[in-house]
A = this chain, B = another copy of it.
Amino acid sequence: MRAINRFNVLDTIRRAGSIARIEISDRTQLSTTTVSAITASLLDDGLILARTEGDLREAATRGRPRVMLELNPRAARVVGAKIAANRMVFVVTDFCGEVLSTLTLALRVDRQPIGVIADLIEDGVRRCVVDANLALDEIDSVCLGLPGVIEHRTGHVRTSPIFRESGVDFAKEMSERLGVTTIVESDAHAITLAHHWFGKARDLDDMVLVSLEQTLGLGVLHGGQLFRGAGGLSHNLGDLTLGIGPQGTVRLASLAGESAILGDQPSGRFAEAIRLGRGMAHAKTLIDAEDNALIGAAIRAGEACGMALANIVTLFAPPRVILVGSSLALGQPFLDSLREAYSLAIPPSIKGVTELVFDQSTDETWAQGAAVVALRELYESPWGTTGPAPAL
């Protein structure tokens, strides 16, 4: 009970950045008494800091000046990572989610044995932590964002395009290697929370995010919480069926996945660019040069995505949908056909309910989102009793 209120107060402080107690009391509907008690204990635990200056109301007001409270950035550090097929991005962030150091590794890891991938990730985490002038034992938690179908609760990777194996208990594996609590989460969920904390959904507690990368993912925010299917499964949009043809089931991934657009044969025209992790950027160049085959693929992908998107909006009716991912880099042909298919497919009855927003975030933002996943768990953990010791 107190835990809930503590979390609410902490979250209110985080959202505001800097806020006075009385304002917290306003927003949380808690009495000033209770807010005082909770903030006292948060200060005591070193999770927040008090600052005398910084009152936004023009200083020309009378009365006792407000004491602004804000998160203590040094209360914790976490590592967030985006693991993709051809690159890994790591960030170390402080308790506010501010990035302290970044590390990008451009290397193709998919279909390597688990051990190799784990080695690379372990190495990346360690290097990024060193870059932040920290030691691994100063890190409170690690979160890895992977593509695929992942059970958040258990850290079980059911399927992922970067693993040959299915059903990998990756959270356990990495926790043991690093000696730090490690969470495994869908990359789409990570970027969803990144947008909720820092991006284009800061003002919303309900929204849907669609990620168009190698894998097509979905994040649903419902009441400020990630909506996870029963069992904490992440969603995999690429598995959505568009039709059943003579060659079997046609899935969204086969039309709109990165490999579907670029073609992933080792001898394909994009083989070199893909290997270097610049597939979509290269494709964009060719599209600008009016490469008709590619423009056609982009248009077909856009149509398929637009339709799938309309169906998702039909089911969830969120006030906003954010589209992210490397496929957006394909530019006009893709985006226009997506928008058009979407507006054709969206049922009239909920037209106007949902706003489409496109966002081209950097990979660092995705990694930061993973860090947010880790931070949220810290926020909810029972600090008061025997949590990780806050830094001085």
- Chain A residues with a Cβ under 8 A of chain B: 1, 149, 158-159, 166, 206-207, 218, 222, 227, 229-231, 233, 235-237, 239-244, 248-249, 251, 303, 307, 310-312, 314-319, 341, 344-345, 347, 349-350, 353
Task: Say how far A337's CB is from chain B's closest CB, in angstroms.
Answer: 11
Residues of B within 8 A of A251 (CB): 347
- Closest B-chain residue to A310, C-beta based? B241
Q: Is the CB of A244 within 8 A of B347?
A: no
Task: Say how far A187's CB is from chain B's closest CB, in angstroms.
Answer: 16
Q: Could you tell me the distance between the alpha carbons of A159 and B345 in the complex, rounded to whole angstroms? A: 17
Q: Is the CB of A241 within 8 A of B350?
A: no
Q: Which of B149, B244, B344 contacts A350 (CB 8 A)?
A: B149
Copy number of this protein in the oligomer? 2
Residues of B within 8 A of A318 (CB): 229-230
- Closest B-chain residue to A151, C-beta based? B317
Q: Is the CB of B314 within 8 A of A239?
A: yes
Q: Which of B207, B231, B347 contacts A353 (CB 8 A)?
A: B231
- Closest B-chain residue to A149, C-beta based? B349
Known contacts A244-B344, A311-B311, A314-B235; A349 and B159 CB within 8 A of each other: yes
Q: Is the CB of A206 within 8 A of B222?
A: no
Residues of B within 8 A of A353 (CB): 231, 233
A-B contact pairs, 9 of them (CB 8 A): A206-B231, A218-B315, A222-B230, A230-B316, A231-B317, A241-B311, A243-B243, A244-B341, A244-B345
In this complex, the member of A230, A242, A314 whose beta carbon has the largest number of chain B beta carbons within 10 angstroms is A230
Q: Could you tell me the distance between the alpha carbons of A314 and B237 in the complex, rounded to whole angstroms? A: 8
Q: Which of B230, B233, B345, B349 contacts A158 (CB 8 A)?
A: B349
Q: Is the CB of B345 within 8 A of A241?
A: yes
Task: Say how far A250's CB is from chain B's closest CB, in angstroms.
Answer: 9
Q: Could you tell me the distance between the alpha carbons of A240 and B233 in the complex, rounded to whole angstroms? A: 23
Known contacts A230-B319, A319-B230, A353-B231; A347 and B243 CB within 8 A of each other: no
Q: Is the CB of B248 within 8 A of A315?
A: no
In this complex, the member of A236, A249, A315 whose beta carbon has the largest number of chain B beta carbons within 10 angstroms is A315
Residues of B within 8 A of A218 (CB): 315
Q: Could you tell me the distance between the alpha carbons of A240 and B241 in the complex, rounded to whole angstroms? A: 12
Task: Say how far A227's CB is from chain B's closest CB, in angstroms.
Answer: 7
Q: Which of B227, B244, B307 contacts A222 (CB 8 A)?
A: B227
Task: Say how far A3's CB is from chain B's closest CB, in angstroms.
Answer: 12
Q: Is the CB of B317 within 8 A of A230?
A: yes
- Closest B-chain residue to A315, C-beta based? B235
Q: Is the CB of A249 within 8 A of B345?
A: yes
Q: Could you tell me the distance between the alpha carbons of A328 and B364 in the complex, rounded to whole angstroms? A: 50
